[in-house]
Structure 1
Amino acid sequence: GRGQATALIDVCRARDEYFEETGVYVPVCSDGGIVYDYHMTLALAMGADFMMLGRYFARFDESPTARVNVNGQYMKEYWGEGSARARNWQRYDLGGASKLAFEEGVDSYVPYAGSLKDGVNATLYKIKSTMCNCGSLSIKELQQKARLTLVSSTSIVEGGAHDVVVKDRNHQTVSYQ
């Protein structure tokens, strides 16, 4: 029930304290909800050593699920590891009469993203660009130098393209923002 960012920051803080006390470094995984490039950069900046990227990879051509049209937008099927669908694959067999009593993951759709090669290349360029903007040449430096700032939804809109007509390069349609 905690926000992923808050949980990650708290766990990484405890990991770092443990390292200072014992000299034993325990890598931390950011697990859950990572879909877009900026999610990865945020997770790394907050202290993650690696990430679970199921939802990110599910968006690409190479994922085994069908590409479907949902309300005029192409999507790919996605289900989380803690979903009923994953449980049906018996990944969570507890043995005997015991069954997993609750569902943690979702069975849903994610926005279609095209080719894996193109998507991963773009992601790596974006992460490197953000690291460069923070003056960081390594993930460790990013974790030390990055400053996360809470912003309002209005500042997000005003910080992006607004009061222009944006061209959709893929479908040659326009949307007003």
Structure 2
Amino acid sequence: MKHTKIVATISDQRCEVDFIRSLYEAGMNVVRLNTAHMNEEGLHRVVSNVRMVSGRIGILIDTKGPEIRTTPCAAPIEFRTGDRVVMQGRPDGETTHECICVSYPDFVKDLSADSDILIDDGDLELKVIEKQAEQLICEVQNNATLGSRKSVNVPGVRINLPSLTEKDRRNIEWAVAISN
């Protein structure tokens, strides 16, 4: 009996029956659906095509969870070690060289002075040097270029966001419904 699982992430952009069949015949036995990049119609399309290949293929749903992102900027922004930049929780604000706005309104409230902030999977590192009522004053720790809508991570800080988003809940309910 085979205990090893071979998992393939399948996109609704590339989920033709023949493609899935070739993966299955090569040993793939679980399909992962990345719900961060698919809507319900895309999820249905992938599962339907997987089921046309075999009912024995497992379906794994990967939920996105909560996230904080920078807001859009007009053009990529160059930062240099030692630069000072303000950060604000303003989802409708534009990110500039002077102020990085993020999608989470309570961002400033959840952080403290001396917190480390990693943006774009750590490509841009910031250190909070001062916390004010509505903004954080940060010092850039490395040379980096910042684009629009990049991920924001704050290691060791509890961010007051729910573990499951409403979209996650809908996707989980959908997964339960299709498994019956």
Confirm or deny a common fold (TM above 0.5).
no
Instruction: State the TM-score, normalized to the length of structure 1.
Output: 0.31
Higher strand share: 2
Instruction: State the TM-score, normalized to the length of structure 2.
Output: 0.31
